[in-house]
Chain A
Amino acid sequence: QVTLRESGPALVKPTQTLTLTCTFSGFSLSTSGMCVSWIRQPPGKALEWLALIDWDDDKYYSTSLKTRLTISKDTSKNQVVLTMTNMDPVDTATYYCARSNYDSSGYSAFDIWGQGTMVTVSS
């Protein structure tokens, strides 16, 4: 059974750096084709894709946020970490991680999601 679970602080102050961890089971990020993304959703608003890391350690970022984001993986721990610098109240959102799979026909995106973790940015 594939599961993902997000963890991190519920509250951060403006200008601080947010660090979120996605811990997963039921698959390995060293397996060819496997990928993990981060997605966020401000309260009452739409989903927004943030970043993706794949089995080969290739990393992709949202155009609008790429200067603030870093994604990394620890294959031995089955974890993916997202850092976001210079947090602002507009970054208040539920942050999700989700699995994707890549093969010769392209991506199969977000078949499994974590439950999400709410992050509030406030002083």
Chain B
Amino acid sequence: DIQMTQSPSSLSASVGDRVTITCRASQGIRNDLGWYQQKPGKAPKRLIYAASSLQSGVPSRFSGSGSGTEFTLTISSLQPEDFATYYCLQHNSYSWTFGQGTKVEIK
């Protein structure tokens, strides 16, 4: 199975900060990666698909990049509603696998 190593596991940031989260795949997965945001008690919500395509309705401050084994989610200017946990997902080969999550907290 492909392992997804997500970092950091948590971070503290202030409103307006630029935030970067990374996922590394244990083998190449082309651009078969998505990013999801989850708030407490809620289902995840897709932000990015195909590594860099913005989901309709998601603010443009979210962006994704990468291909192969290294991927990045960037929030250009953190907003109060962005405090949440973020997960990457590889869907290149079965079993599909999520990263361990990054909790973004208020500094």
Residues of A within 8 A of B (CB): 37, 46-49, 52, 60-64, 96, 100, 105-111, 113-116
> Which residue of chain A has the shortest Cβ distance to B87 in the bound complex?
A47
Q: Taking A109-B89, A113-B45 as given, write out 18 further A-B residue pairs in contact, using a Cβ cutoff of 8 Å, ordered by the A residue number.
A: A46-B87, A46-B98, A46-B101, A49-B89, A49-B97, A60-B94, A61-B95, A63-B94, A105-B50, A106-B50, A107-B32, A109-B34, A109-B49, A110-B36, A110-B46, A110-B89, A111-B55, A115-B43
Please report whether the interface of chain A is mostly helix, strand, loop or mixed according to DSSP. Answer: strand
Please report whether the interface of chain B is mostly helix, strand, loop or mixed according to DSSP. Answer: loop
Known: A109-B96, A110-B89. A63 touches B44 (CB 8 A): no
Pairwise interchain contact A106-B32, C-beta atoms closer than 8 A: yes
Min distance, Cβ A9 to any Cβ of chain B, angstroms: 20
Min distance, Cβ B74 to any Cβ of chain A, angstroms: 20
> Which residue of chain A has the shortest Cβ distance to B44 in the bound complex?
A113
- Most A CB atoms within 10 A — which of B46, B50, B91, B96? B96
- Number of residue pairs across A and B with beta carbons under 8 Å? 63
| B34-91 CB contacts (< 8 Å) to partner A | 34, 36, 38, 43-46, 49-50, 55, 87, 89, 91
Known: A46-B101, A48-B98, A49-B96. A107 touches B43 (CB 8 A): no
Q: With A and B bound together, what is the CA distance between A104 and B10 in angstroms?
A: 36
Min distance, Cβ B59 to any Cβ of chain A, angstroms: 17
Known: A46-B87, A47-B87. A108 touches B98 (CB 8 A): no
Pairwise interchain contact A47-B98, C-beta atoms closer than 8 A: yes
Q: Give 25 CB contacts A-B under 8 Å.
A: A46-B99, A46-B100, A47-B36, A47-B44, A48-B98, A49-B95, A52-B94, A60-B94, A61-B94, A63-B1, A64-B95, A96-B43, A96-B44, A105-B50, A106-B32, A107-B32, A107-B91, A108-B50, A109-B34, A109-B46, A109-B96, A110-B46, A113-B43, A113-B44, A113-B45
Which 7 pairs across A and B sit closest by C-beta, in order of nearness?
A: A113-B43, A49-B96, A109-B91, A47-B98, A60-B94, A62-B95, A63-B95
